[in-house]
Structure 1
Amino acid sequence: MRYWINELWRLGYMLFGLGAIGLLLGELGHNLLAGLGWGLAAGLGLYVFLHLRHVRKLYIWLLKNPREAPPPGTGVWGDLFDRLYSYQKAQTQLQGRLRDILRRIQDSCEAMRDSVVMLDSRGDLDWWNSAAGDMLGLQADHDRGQPITNFLRDPRFIAYFESGDYREPLLIPSPVQANHSLQFHLTLFGDNERLLMARDVTRLHQLEMMRRDFVANVSHELRTPLTVLAGYLETYSDHAGQLPERWQRGFGQMQAQTTRMQNLVEDLLLLSRLEIDSPNNDRETLDVATLLAGIAADARELSTERHQLTIEAEEPRQLLANTKEIRSAISNLVFNAVRYTPAGSTITLRWKPWHDGAAIEVEDDGDGFDPIHIPRLTERFYRVDKGRSAATGGTGLGLAIVKHVLLRHEATLEIVSRPGLGARFRCVFPASRLAAAPARPTSVSPDTPA
């Protein structure tokens, strides 16, 4: 503020001085008013001239090199030059630091073995590191500005890129080396820009395939000896009365453990098939209400009237799915509820609308469990209560089977539970997996002509 006051004082001094000179000249010419007017005009003209002179200095300084020291100035112009120069120095230093940070980021990305690709808001290539050039076949000379989908043409990647849902990575073959597997992960940032990261997971993929093959082969090889063993144990049990009492107890335990091993082998084989085989007959029209009624009947036999099972079918539409796989998944959820809830609990099976799609829910009012277990419940052999699970004869693979069945049907599993408040398992199916409800047959009167 003081600079503007000083500037006003400067203007006042000029007007006063030149006005006084004008009065003196006017007195000599016997015309005081004319002399005063010419004096004030001269003062304003001088003031404007000085400002225009400083504007010219500013223009020449900015035109040549604003990083050099500013020209000398008087009054408010001197302060303005100093402030502009200080601001310019600060901006230059800030830009230098930003360039250093960007250089370090680029150097660190260049040092990475994983591919890093920056895409603009339209999905065009903006920048990438050397690993991306080798892994994806990108060339800096003429590929910059091209859409990423011109280089990654796999329909799965295009669908993943356009979906906007990047919570899970995508595994597809390499576009450069067909025998390599790449894992892609997209991240949104800025103004709808994307950061694409790709990792070569060929070795991990091969190890996973070896694990699957090993489990499938071992399970298949175990099936025959277990069947033979179970057959002989059943034959011996038919003549249990002829055996000593201590042997009878041993045969009973062997039968129970053999049955448990057979169940485990069957679940492992089912999991292997779900992981390896392509979906087959997964668009059958399924009446979910009828399916739930059949599962509830089986669950009542398992429960032996210790639980109350109810069915709520609010969704009229039918499900397009593989009937056998869906029955297996829902049966696992219901049988788990029977095994792990105390006697007297109520187990509810629901088929209801859910957002744009529909959901099958299995809910109980049993003991529930801590939510800390929910992220790991679908892992193989993970148990909330190992002692109780062993006592019920479960294999620890039920929820893993449910997860894989739902993945094959584009569905998701949502789990909600609190200690003492029961548990709810919700299988959510998209609208694309639903079919219109069947038309109800209309009754025709015998008197109505055909």
Structure 2
Amino acid sequence: MNQNWHGTLIRHMLLLVTGCLLVGLISGYYGWSLAIGLGLYLGWTLKQLLRLHEWLRQHKPDEAPPDGYGLWGEVFDSIYHLQRRDQRVRGRLQAVIDRVQESTAALKDAVIMLDSDGNLEWWNRAAETLLGLKTPQDSGQPVTNLVRHPRFKEYFEQDNYEEALEIPSPTNDRVRIQLYLTRYGNNEHLMLVRDVTRIHQLEQMRKDFVANVSHELRTPLTVICGYLETLLDNVEEVNPRWSRALQQMQQQGSRMQTLLNDLLLLAKLEATDYPSDNHPVAVQSLLQTIKNDAQALSGERGQHITLEADPSVLLKGSEGELRSAFSNLVFNAVKYTQDKGTIRIRWWADQQGAHLSIQDSGIGIDSKHLPRLTERFYRVDSSRNSNTGGTGLGLAIVKHVLLRHRARLEISSVLGHGSTFTCHFAPTQVTRSLEIATKE
């Protein structure tokens, strides 16, 4: 109530009291006159309150408040002005909402709004095409009940949405869709879905091309390397000036065979999403074998390699694929660590899952190269790579193996002060050895 209302109320009360006193002066009953006057005023006030209550309870959206007099007239007028202002604000908001809905309806990409529990609140027309949503019967339904792909349920329940998810469309297996999830507001979700069928087909053509070329090259390269090996076994019968040439040809042939084997392994890893031989792997014994191989690779360089591994922590997956990924990381540490350097291998588990860390005191990597290290054939230093005999596919293989095992690779490095490669595995991939845990 503002200052004018205070003044009006005070004036009304003074007039009422004055009138009651005048009637009391005429009749000689001051107390009764004052009581009757105040009672009549209270009754009139209650009547106005009842009118306001009845209007608030039964009024239609655009119905104006009732007419009134005096102070109650000002109250009803203020309510009317608030009502008009609220209608104008609602009109502007509705115009914005209509414009947003019209613009999103024209998108080829699907836009879906979900509440904090993952229930459908709103979606555009593209969502009906790509995901098969139906209006209005699907409103309020959990999105995981309508998009039933197991990878989507796993993706939706995780906390990290940095990477997009690519799955077949629920309406058509030949259509590939890519989903992005973003949190906003009160833990609500905004999901964007786009058709990436064409991109997927092009990517599949590239994979098929690389796999087919690798297979086609493998046979002639095997024949060539076989004949070179035969010639070198009988090098005393060969003209001495051809000896060095044959040795170099054999070295390059072996390098090409390694490259082809890596390409074929990548093609195999990309062919499916999950390992076919998915069973608990004793990581501690696997790492012990890799450590022994790394020590042999180090030879007389005097590198100090240590292993700290929890034997009770097992990992569900393919032992062959995990061996390939882990050995790539450990052997890289051996190659790029100076003589007498240290390499520390750790395997442990916590509430976030299981973790493998390979830390070295080697030459390190400039930070500008870190985002691209897992790209195929990406070389930090081409001369360094040729000196170590790498194919440029090792970390690409590591990345794909980790993706198939629901894991991610974290790389931290300081130039001249060594590098740390850490593999983070989701809790769903981790299991424990009951026998070892009981002994402990």
Q: Is the 8 A contact 1:367 1:421 kept in 2?
A: yes
Q: Which of 25, 28, 46 does residue 27 from structure 2 map onto?
A: 25
The answer to whether 1:175 aligns with 2:167 is no
Question: Matches of 2:222 and 2:134 in 1, distance apart?
Answer: 60
Does the residue aligned with 2:301 lie in a helix, a strand or coil? coil
Show the counterpart of 2:267: 272
Show the counterpart of 1:31: none
Q: Which of 9, 12, 28 does residue 11 from structure 2 map onto?
A: 9
Q: How does 1:34-49 map to 2 (within 5 A)?
A: 34=29, 36-48=30-42
Show the counterpart of 2:149: 154
Show the counterpart of 1:213: 208
1:421 Cα offset (Å): 3.2
Q: Is the 8 A contact 1:368 1:421 kept in 2?
A: yes
Question: Matches of 2:13 and 2:132 in 1, distance apart?
Answer: 70
Show the counterpart of 2:109: 114
Show the counterpart of 1:434: 431
For the structure 1 residues 410 and 15, does the alpha-carbon distance in structure 2 shift closer, same or farther, using more than 3 Å as the test? Answer: same
What are structure 1's unaligned runs of at least 5 residues?
27-33, 443-450
Q: Is the 8 A contact 1:70 1:85 kept in 2?
A: no
Q: How does 1:7-406 map to 2 (within 5 A)?
A: 7-26=9-28, 34=29, 36-48=30-42, 51-52=45-46, 54-55=48-49, 58=52, 63=59, 68=64, 71=67, 73-75=69-71, 77-120=72-115, 123-140=118-135, 142-162=137-157, 166-190=161-185, 193-235=188-230, 239=235, 243=239, 250-277=245-272, 279-283=275-279, 285-286=281-282, 288-317=283-312, 319-320=314-315, 321-355=317-351, 357-406=353-402
Does the residue aligned with 1:305 lie in a helix, a strand or coil? helix
For the structure 1 residues 243 and 284, does the alpha-carbon distance in structure 2 shift closer, same or farther, using more than 3 Å as the test? Answer: farther
Does the residue aligned with 1:325 lie in a helix, a strand or coil? helix
Question: Matches of 1:227 and 1:400 in 2, distance apart?
Answer: 25
Deviations 1:225-245, CA, capped at 9 Å, x for gaps: 323333444455563896576
Q: Is the 8 A contact 2:269 2:401 kept in 1?
A: yes
Q: Is the 8 A contact 1:70 1:82 kept in 2?
A: no
Question: Matches of 1:351 and 1:161 in 2, distance apart?
Answer: 28
- Name which one, 1 or 2, has greater alpha-carbon Rg: 1
1:308 Cα offset (Å): 1.4
Q: Is the 8 A contact 2:343 2:358 kept in 1?
A: yes
Question: Matches of 1:155 and 1:7 in 2, distance apart?
Answer: 69
1:111 Cα offset (Å): 0.5
Show the counterpart of 2:409: 413
1:110 Cα offset (Å): 0.9
Q: Is the 8 A contact 2:65 2:79 kept in 1?
A: no
Question: Matches of 1:340 and 1:138 in 2, distance apart?
Answer: 53
1:347 Cα offset (Å): 1.1
1:11 Cα offset (Å): 0.7
Question: Matches of 2:304 and 2:386 in 1, distance apart?
Answer: 24
Question: Matches of 2:417 and 2:77 in 1, distance apart?
Answer: 71
Which one-letter code corresponds to 2:414 in the other structure?
Answer: R
For the structure 1 residues 357 and 183, does the alpha-carbon distance in structure 2 shift closer, same or farther, using more than 3 Å as the test? Answer: closer
1:204 Cα offset (Å): 1.9
1:19 Cα offset (Å): 0.5
Question: Matches of 1:314 and 1:296 in 2, distance apart?
Answer: 12
Q: Percent identity?
A: 48
Which one-letter code corresponds to 2:291 in the other structure?
Answer: A
For the structure 1 residues 330 and 105, does the alpha-carbon distance in structure 2 shift closer, same or farther, using more than 3 Å as the test? Answer: same
Question: Matches of 2:356 and 2:61 in 1, distance apart?
Answer: 72
1:398 Cα offset (Å): 0.7
Q: Is the 8 A contact 1:216 1:269 kept in 2?
A: yes
Question: Matches of 1:310 and 1:22 in 2, distance apart?
Answer: 109
For the structure 1 residues 390 and 54, does the alpha-carbon distance in structure 2 shift closer, same or farther, using more than 3 Å as the test? Answer: same
For the structure 1 residues 11 and 311, does the alpha-carbon distance in structure 2 shift closer, same or farther, using more than 3 Å as the test? Answer: same
1:159 Cα offset (Å): 4.2
Q: Is the 8 A contact 2:295 2:305 kept in 1?
A: no
For the structure 1 residues 81 and 229, does the alpha-carbon distance in structure 2 shift closer, same or farther, using more than 3 Å as the test? Answer: same
Question: Matches of 2:139 and 2:284 in 1, distance apart?
Answer: 55
Total equivalences in the alignment:
430
TM-score normalised over the length of structure 1: 0.82
1:149 Cα offset (Å): 4.5
Question: Matches of 2:144 and 2:377 in 1, distance apart?
Answer: 40
